Structure 1
Amino acid sequence: MHQHDILDRYRHLREIGNCHHQAALDHVPQTTIMERAKHLGLTHQGILTTDSDMEMALVFDLAVHTAKRGRSRAIDRYAKAASRADADETRTLDAIRHARFSLWRVLRHHDVAGLVIEDVLSERETWLIDEAMTASVAPGSAFAARLYSPDEFAITCGTVVPISAELIEEALLEGCWVQNHELHDIADDPRLAVAIYRTAVVQRTMETVRFRPIGANA
């Protein structure tokens, strides 16, 4: 496929993905929002202490994609209730349900569109399409994000956290659970996202990120 065909396909699937994520938030109780915000240090005495869209995006990501042990995730509850009109809606929602959070490094620009990135934890390469990142992120840059693959390429779930060696070290040192896991298994533990997000909040990393509203092409 030519570049414009790939980008048209990406924009179509991303729009569907944005709609799914927005609808999944309707299945998140306010108490869960506050719990996730508390995990990230964004509450005080039961009151939300941030008005940052970027920090709230971290809260929403955890609220939609993670759950307490024995509880269902909001994205799964939404999937059970959702009516999907066509194959792309079904395929995109299934991909979102299997989204993977990890630490990623940009290797190079893809020959057609987007970026070739590497999962730092599993050392697997992935083709990522994100127009904003392609225009602004240099090879060698690293970030944390949850990705889903509705086609041969991957798309971010909407939240991207720039990371450094210092941020990773601080995030992992605070969790003794990391010591009992193989490196490739760490990404499958929801505590990794919490640790990375909380450290990003403490280090004010999200102040360097520009928020793109749900529904905007990225």
Structure 2
Amino acid sequence: MSDATAAARYGRYAAIRRRILTEASQRIPLASLAQQARALSLWDGKQVAPSDEMQLAVVFDLGVLDPLGGHGRGIDRQAKAEAPVPSSEEYRMLGALATAPFGLWRILGPHPEGGVRAESFPDGEPLVIWDRFLDRGRAPGALIGARIARPEEDLPMTCGAVVSLDSRAVERLLLGTPPGRGPVIPTQPLPDEGPALERLVAEPAARLRLAALARSPGFAAMVYRVAIDLGLMGPVAGRTPTI
């Protein structure tokens, strides 16, 4: 199909994705929501306490698609409550969300015919991700963590939650650094990270370690927590000092 057709299909799927994720998020039990927020240090004892929309998005991402603690997924509850017509675009989008893998990606810049050029990290497998906002504020080479859903093979899409990362985050993942409990100081990803990232995964053992982590349960939660602890997702209520 032509890229123009792909762009039109992306617009339709994006609207369907938004509706499905919104409705599935409303089917997360409070006990599950609390556990996901606690794991990310975003729970104040009574409710989720995000400082911005992306912090809330990662809590819902876990509750809908990849919950910790053995809780059922919101996406599965949504599928049972409102099963779409087989072979419809809603059916394909629901299935793509339910099976979307989480991974690390490097943003290479806008694709001239639509979408964003990217590559998997550290393998370097190229793809074009259909997302209108993915490269905004991100220089070529920027590292992100995101789930990629494919309602159609030529239409990789993000699933709502995208976190900015850098070499500090990758180093913590490789070292298995435990979740932090101390102050969170908001910061931006380090610039010009290409050489630093390549050094971290230069050894085959490091690449194998990162690949094994990516396949392990709870990898998305691990990445989200590292980003939060490093301040890459902004201030955190109760952990960011007030002036």
TM-score normalized by the length of structure 2: 0.74
RMSD (CA atoms):
2.7
The aligned runs of 1:87-126 (5 Å cut-off) are 87-126=88-127
Q: Aligned pair 1:167/2:155, yes or no? A: no
| Structure 1, unpaired ranges of 5+ | 209-218
CA contact (8 A) 2:68 2:218 kept: no
Is 1:196 matched with 2:198?
no
Q: Retained in 2: the 8 A contact 1:126–1:153?
A: no
Match of 2:64 in 1: 64
Q: Which amino acid aligns with 1:142?
A: L
The equivalences for 1:145-184 within 5 A come to: 145-151=146-152, 152-174=154-176, 182-184=209-211
Deviates more, 1:162-171 or 1:183-192: 183-192
> How far apart, in 2, do the equivalents of 1:142 and 1:23 lie?
29
Judged with a 3 Å threshold, the aligned counterparts in structure 2 of structure 1 residues 135 and 202 are, in CA distance, closer, same or farther, namely closer
- Displacement of 1:80 in angstroms is 2.8
CA–CA separation in structure 1 for the residues paired with 2:48 and 2:70 = 26
What is the total number of aligned residue pairs between the two structures?
206
In 1, Cα distance between the equivalents of 2:72 and 2:38? 20
Residues 1:33 and 1:172: Cα distance change in structure 2 (over 3 Å): farther
Kindly provide the CA deviation profile for residues 123-164 of structure 1, in whole angstroms up to 9, marking residues without a partner as x: 322220111224543321111111101121211111111110
* Matching residue's letter, 1:106: I
Query: Which amino acid in structure 2 is aligned with residue 84 of structure 1?
Result: P
Per the alignment, residue 13 of structure 1 pairs with 13
Matched, 1:30 2:57: no
Letter in 2 for 1:198: R
The 8 Å contact of residues 36 and 67 in structure 2, kept in 1 or not, is answered as no
Partner of 2:139: 138
**How many Å separate the matches in 1 of 2:131 and 2:49?**
30
User: 3-state DSSP class of the match of 1:139?
Assistant: coil
Q: 1:16 to 1:143 in 2, by over 3 A?
A: same
Measured after TM superposition, the shift of residue 59 of structure 1 is 0.5
Q: CA 1:166–1:134 in structure 2 vs 1: closer, same or farther (change >3 Å)?
A: closer
Runs (5+) with no aligned partner, structure 2: 179-205, 236-243
Q: Which amino acid aligns with 2:171?
A: E
How much has 1:3 moved relative to structure 2? Answer: 4.9
Aligned mates of 1:109, 1:129 — CA distance in 2: 10
State the Cα distance separating 1:21 from its structure 2 match.
0.7
For 1:67, the aligned partner's letter is P
Q: What amino acid is the match of 2:83?
A: S
The TM-score with structure 1 as length reference comes to: 0.82
Letter matched to residue 92 of structure 1: M
| Distance in 2 of aligned mates of 1:58 and 1:46 | 18
Contact residue 109 and residue 135 of structure 2 kept, 8 A: no
